Amino acid sequence: MSTTNDTLAKARIAVLGYGSQGRAHALNLRDSGLDVVVGLRKGGPSWEKARAEGFNVAEPAEAVKGADLVAVLTPDMVQPALYRDAIAPNIKPGAALLFAHGFNVHFGQIGPRQDVDVILVAPKGPGALVRREYEIGRGVPCIWAVHQDVSGQAEAKAKAYADGIGGGRALLIKTDFKEETETDLFGEQAVLCGGASSLVQAGFETLVEAGYQPEIAYYEVLHELKLIVDLFYEGGITRMLEFVSETAQYGDYVSGPRVIDAGVKARMKEVLKDIQDGTFAKNWIAEYQAGLPNYKQYKQADLEHPVEQVGKRLRARMPWLQAAAPQPSAEPLKKVG
Ligand code: NAD
Ligand code: MG
């Protein structure tokens, strides 16, 4: 075990939530030799799963009681009530409260007790990848931060936790809650989830409306995107340019900026401003509290988009895609951010 890891060697870690991140963190921490208890609602969807995977599972309040570090890995929108009901009344003075996303602390939805460390370890990848990389001896890069340090050990605890989930094998970068929260929200909204899926839908619609076969449009604007993104991941735009034809490169140079023009960047800045000034957070919290009426509608529209209809048929004929997908866990790679 590394020196930083020793910081948590004798610690009891409560992982609250056993979803995308929670499951990966709990399994990796345990495999790193750390003492983990999983905190879940009895009868909730993940209770049996965590039990079946060998964990000591308790109600959140019980799990928090004995813990030296509490990792809050439930959905962001349930964290304020969870903090109020299960964590604040039970967390030990001097223990650490850890988040994987700074949303609630940064936007003031959780005001942590003054006598606990408050830290952040955010893997830059979905939970299934955090687990898969760990299992093959690697890790997903993590960014970490300290919001409050009462023990004098907050930084060491954050690094030890990041090591425990495998991030130390990859790369650790120091940040703060504001930077993590704002950049994470921007990335998923403008580029990763929102930007990429809207780009794919618009490209698909353009081809289909021009009379081309939807099946061919699907391959052109969605399926092949993976190839390109893999090259970005391995070696940036440089590597992508090495692998595509001169014709594709010329088209990239003249047409890319026509599609993603200064207007797009100006609107990205508006998206960022809404994140920075709290407008997005305010709207999202209100939407959640109203029972997600718009969210459900938007989601349904995405699921019913013609690119999904044709995609479903084509993917059923490419069963190897599922076999090749990273699924060491039972969880599909369903989420970013
Ligand atoms: P998730 O939706 O996949 O899982 C949530 C888990 O919490 C489930 O096990 C659920 O049963 C449990 N849960 C729900 N309500 C609960 C309650 N009241 N008490 C106890 N348990 C409850 O969540 P996720 O996507 O892993 O997100 C967890 C945190 O990690 C969030 O802060 C998120 O922003 C952050 N994060 C997620 C990703 C990602 O890839 N999904 C990446 C980085 C950071
Ligand atoms: Mg996110």
DSSP-derived 3-state class of residue 166: coil
Cβ atoms within 10 Å, residue 83: 26
First-to-last alpha carbon distance for the chain, in angstroms, is 29
Residue 77 and residue 124 in one domain: yes
pLDDT single digits (tens) 290-304: 999 999 999 999 999
Kindly state whether residues 118 and 171 are assigned to the same domain. yes
Whether 74 maps to a domain, the answer reads: yes
Q: 187 lies in a domain?
A: no
Is the residue at 334 inside a domain?
A: no
Determine which residue's CA is closest to atom 14 belonging to ligand 1: 74
CB 70 within 8 A of CB 36: no
d(CA 319, CA 110): 44
In a domain, 162, yes or no: yes
pLDDT number for residue 4? 54
Q: Are residues 257 and 165 in the same domain?
A: no
Residues 201 and 161 occupy one common structural domain? no
Q: How far apart, in whole angstroms, are the C-alpha atoms of residue 317 and residue 302? A: 22
Find out whether the beta carbon of 82 lies less than 6 Å from any atom of ligand 1. Answer: yes
Active site members: 101
Q: Is 87 in the pocket of ligand 1 (CB under 6 A)?
A: no
Mean predicted lDDT score pLDDT of the chain? 94
* Tally of domains in the chain: 2
How many Å separate Cα 257 from the centre of its chain?
Answer: 29
Nearest-ligand number for the alpha carbon of 102: 1
Return the residue whose CA atom lies nearest to atom 10 of ligand 1: 17
Q: How confident is the model at residue 326 (pLDDT cuts 50, 70, 90)?
A: low
Domain that holds residue 273: 192-317
d(CA 337, CA 125): 7
DSSP 85: I
22: Cβ below 6 Å to ligand 1? yes
- Annotated binding-site residues for NADP(+) read 18-21, 41, 46, 127
46 lines ligand 1 (CB under 6 A): yes
Whole-prediction pTM value? 0.94
Helix (H) or strand (E) holding 35: strand 35-39
Residue 271 domain flag:
yes
| Ligand number, closest to the Cα atom of 181 | 2
User: Residues annotated in the binding site for Mg(2+), as ranges?
Assistant: 184, 188, 220, 224
Binding residues for substrate: 245
Which pair of tokens denotes residue 304? Answer: 């019913």
> How remote is the CA of residue 336 from the centroid of ligand 2, in Å?
6
Q: Is the pLDDT of residue 324 over 70?
A: no
Residue 111 lies in a domain: yes
Q: Confidence band (pLDDT; 50, 70, 90) for 327?
A: low
Nearest CA to ligand 1 atom 8: 19
Which of 74, 118, 186, 329 to mutate to test ligand 1, by most ligand atoms within 8 A of the CB atom?
74
Q: Are residues 285 and 144 in the same domain?
A: no
Residue 141 sits in the same domain as residue 39:
yes
Q: Tens digit of pLDDT for each residue in 18-73?
A: 999 999 999 999 999 999 999 999 988 899 999 999 999 999 999 999 999 999 99
Alpha carbons 86 and 80: distance in angstroms, whole number: 10
DSSP-derived secondary structure for 92-130: PTT-EEEESS-HHHHTTS----TTSEEEEEEESS-HHHH
* Closest listed residue to residue 5, CA positions, set 134, 114, 158: 158
Same-domain check for residues 26 and 114:
yes
Tokens of 298: 């938007």
Residues 152 and 213 in one domain: no
- pLDDT category, 151, cuts 50, 70, 90? very high
User: For a substitution probing ligand 1, which of 18, 21, 42, 165 has the most ligand atoms within 8 Å of its CB?
Assistant: 21
The residue whose CA is least distant from atom 12 of ligand 1 is 17
Q: What is the mean pLDDT of residues 93-109?
A: 98
**Could you tell me if 214 and 245 lie in one domain?**
yes
Does 186 reside within a domain? no
Check whether residue 112 and residue 223 sit in a common domain.
no
From ligand 1's centre to the CA of 252, what distance in Å?
38
Calpha distance 2→287 (Å, rounded): 44
Q: Are strands 96-99 and 117-123 parallel, antiparallel or unpaired?
A: parallel
234 lies in the same domain as 146: no
Q: Are residues 171 and 208 in the same domain?
A: no
Flag whether 80 is in a domain: yes
Q: What is the CATH number of the domain that holds 167?
A: 3.40.50.720
pLDDT classification of 5: cutoffs 50, 70, 90: low
What are the pLDDT digits (tens) for 187-245?
999 999 999 999 999 999 999 999 999 999 999 999 999 999 999 999 999 999 999 99
Ligand 1 touching residue 167 (CB < 6 A): no
